[in-house]
Amino acid sequence: MVITCSDTRTPETDASGRLIQQLLKDKGHHIAAYHLVKDEPAEIKARITEGLTNESVQAIIINGGTGISRRDSTFEAVDAMLEKRLDGFGEVFRYLTYQDIGSPAIMSRATAGIIKGRILFSTPGSENAVRLAMEKLILPELGHLVKELTK
């Protein structure tokens, strides 16, 4: 399941959401659902909850809303729902981002964790950030993570 959190994007302008879906498909993954929601905690939580009731959803990848502006609330919505956190995802993501853009990397609140037997990733919404997260961290481990969660 792919969720884009944005107050300004439309399905036509959601390049990051399309990129996530394309990269997943290129690696043989099936997209069970795609949603574009406003950066509102209640909407974000509702879509996550919806995904958790869909047996074909093994992973939820969210992009957008991880910054520090007043409207960025994805982190708070996601963090409140996680049962286990994978702190290494955010730490390594920020390290890789720092190598690319320098000190602005500290503003990213990318996170990942487990919720109801599913893996959830939350990345910034820029195409560069999405590509970095997907190619360097998410895609290389997604199959392994899902396998571990289904043991």
Per domain, the residue ranges of the chain are: 2-149
d(CA 130, CA 135): 8
| Level-2 CATH architecture, domain 2-149 | 3-Layer(aba) Sandwich (3.40)
Distance of CA 100 to the CA centre of its chain: 20
Average pLDDT over residues 9-28: 97
Would you say 27 and 87 are in contact if contact means Cβ atoms under 8 Å apart? no
Indicate the pTM of the whole model: 0.96
| 3-state SS, residue 18 | helix
Residue in the block written with tokens 């899902």: 146
134-149 pLDDT, tens digit each: 999 999 999 999 999 9
Q: Measure CA of the first residue to CA of the last residue in the chain; give whole Å.
A: 21
Query: What share of the chain has pLDDT > 90, as a percent?
Result: 99
Tokens of 61: 């990848």
SS3 letters for 107-135? HCCCEEEEECCEEEEEECCCHHHHHHHHH
